[in-house]
Chain A
Amino acid sequence: KAGVTQTPRYLIKTRGQQVTLSCSPISGHRSVSWYQQTPGQGLQFLFEYFSETQRNKGNFPGRFSGRQFSNSRSEMNVSTLELGDSALYLCASSFLEAGSSPLHFGNGTRLTVT
């Protein structure tokens, strides 16, 4: 069974640009969650989508947005990039809502903002 696939693996952007990250969950999983991981802040929850609906949102500015498609694939968008957005962005899928069943993480997208 294929795992969670995130693309691209690495991105370098400049301040002010926008970026879109993609996540394909494990087949049959309907929940996709996004996390930002930095050395100083650890794993910070961004948002969760379940059956195309945003179920929860973390404490991030509106520049961070996402969506989920009918095939459960998800995209995350960050507009007007700032230096502080440099991080590892992790996507995770689960069969049920995140927490009521375990999360399975992708390999992440390493975003560098210069």
Chain B
Amino acid sequence: QKEVEQNSGPLSVPEGAIASLNCTYSDRGSQSFFWYRQYSGKSPELIMSIYSNGDKEDGRFTAQLNKASQYVSLLIRDSQPSDSATYLCASWAGNMLTFGGGTRLMVKP
């Protein structure tokens, strides 16, 4: 069974620090990767998508993809308390989108 693995956390960082969230996937055929943020009691919302090796930056967020090592990461710079949420990683290998279990991030003021 194809899997996407994330550390469930919680990952605790102080306000203003860099939060680093990691995700590994088992299907070498995975082509597209997504990071979603889910606040408690809310539905997931898309933060970033990444399709090729390397870094992709959007504001305070940077997604990094390394297909050879089969991992995806999300960096959040200048973390804010409002970033406290569960972050879901998802991969797509041409058939269905598979989600990891999510990492809970806590940003402390």
Question: In chain B, what residue has the closest Cβ to A107?
Answer: B43
Kindly state whether residue A95 has any CB partner on chain B within 8 Å: no
Which among A35, A102, A107, A108 has the highest number of chain B CB atoms within 10 Å? A102
The answer to whether A75 has its CB under 8 Å from any CB of chain B is: no
Do A105 and B45 have beta carbons less than 8 Å apart?
yes
Stretch at the interface among A13-21, A41-49, A62-70, A79-87: A41-49
- Our pick among A35, A43, A98, A104 for the contact of B92 (Cβ within 8 Å) is A98
* B46 and A43 contact, CB distance less than 8 A: no
Chain A contacts for B96, CB-based, 8 A: 45, 48, 56, 58, 98-99
Chain B's nearest CB lies how many Å from the CB of A26?
A: 12
A99-B32 contact given A42-B101, A56-B95, CB 8 Å threshold: yes
Query: Does A24 belong to the interface (CB within 8 Å)?
Result: no
For A99, the chain B residues whose CB sits under 8 A away are 31-32, 90, 92-94, 96-97
